[in-house]
Amino acid sequence: MIASAIPWSSGRANKEQMNRSTRSISAKPNTVIIIGILLVLGILTSSIFATGADEGFAIYLTEQDVSPAQMEVLSHVTLTERPVISSEDIITYNAQTHEIRLTDQAFERICALDVPVQGRAFMVCVDKQSIYWGAFWTPISSISFDGVTIWQPYSAQDPGIITLQLGYPSSSFYGGQDPRNSPEILKSLEQAGKLIDKLSITSIEELPHSLKGYELYSWEEEGQWHFTLTTGTNRIKTLEEITAEEDLISETGWGRIQVAGADAIKDVLSRLPEGESVFWCDESHVGQSAETDFQLPPESIANGIEDYAAQCGLAFVVTIQSC
């Protein structure tokens, strides 16, 4: 009789093989679960970054176009899905003047923005976390505003710069603290390589044209002649404004530069546009009893400065008498 039974040893081997196969089959669901968890985690991570966790500085409009007049009474404001100005749109942000130089495409977008006379609210954010709010404002509006504003440019032909300003139509309408120098904002812009502390006279080739020309002041201090060149205005200047040591240079029109020595002021004058008017002023243009005696330097120095201004093509007018 031929034995049809499987030898015991072979049967045990087949049984072990079957057990291994069973274990392998039972392990597959666990692998599938692990892979599924990893996929879910990946999706969640992508979602986190998509909500702005690594977005940096950005300016958003409100989803329902909330009126600036209603912003302060709201506890929560929903932002639009995409920012109106992103970090990628910014070329530089000046921490001193809060001027933002934009790419051409971004500047055209702001010029085309629909801004009613009562303003259009925006939110300044870092990683989509709200820091402070303000409003786009049109320069043709007759409605005043006591918040942070961005004035809509007149046309896309203007220099590609917008400014975060206090109040409308001037800073005298603004009340409260200045939120623009928030540490979170400055840190984010610095990390993105967009932040500049301020412009210096040596970093620009030409100062902007001024509709009212420029004013020049001079005074002697500790045996050295000091000069301040500032943008001309109708208003009276303060003594602190004229003698402040820190320069303030705006790319959009305002400037105040103080230097010591005739050669230094000649260098400043050389950066004015040809044909610009310069008025050499005395203390009558200062709105308080001046402790500083604004006067012309000795004739040789004054004549040298005046002659150099003529060489630069400036309309130079001396309104004070030499000592």
Find the helix packing angle between 262-269 and 299-311, rounded to 10°: 20
pLDDT tens-place string over residues 271-300: 999 999 999 988 776 766 556 788 899 999
Residue the block writes with tokens 């044909």: 275
Q: Are 198 and 94 in contact (CB under 8 A)?
A: yes
Q: What is the pLDDT of residue 5?
A: 37
Q: Out of 34-38, 129-133, 268-272, 283-287, which region has the weakest mean confidence (pLDDT)?
A: 34-38
Q: What is the pLDDT of residue 322?
A: 52
- The burial class, CB within 10 Å (0-12 / 13-18 / 19+), for 45 is exposed
Calpha distance 23→319 (Å, rounded) = 101
Q: Give 256's Cβ-side CA count (13 Å radius).
A: 16
| Nearest of 115, 91, 87 to residue 102 by alpha carbon | 91
Alpha helices in the chain (DSSP H): 8-48, 68-71, 104-111, 183-191, 239-243, 262-269, 299-311
Compute the average pLDDT of residues 96-104. Answer: 94
pTM comes to 0.69
Show contacts of 1-5: CB within 8 Å, 24+ apart: none
Q: Is the pLDDT of residue 17 over 70?
A: no
Compute the average pLDDT of residues 100-129. Answer: 96
pLDDT tens-place string over residues 191-200: 999 999 887 7
pLDDT tens-place string over residues 209-224: 888 899 999 999 989 9
Q: What is the pLDDT of residue 34?
A: 52
Q: Are 77 and 61 in contact (CB under 8 A)?
A: no
Calpha distance 32→303 (Å, rounded) = 89
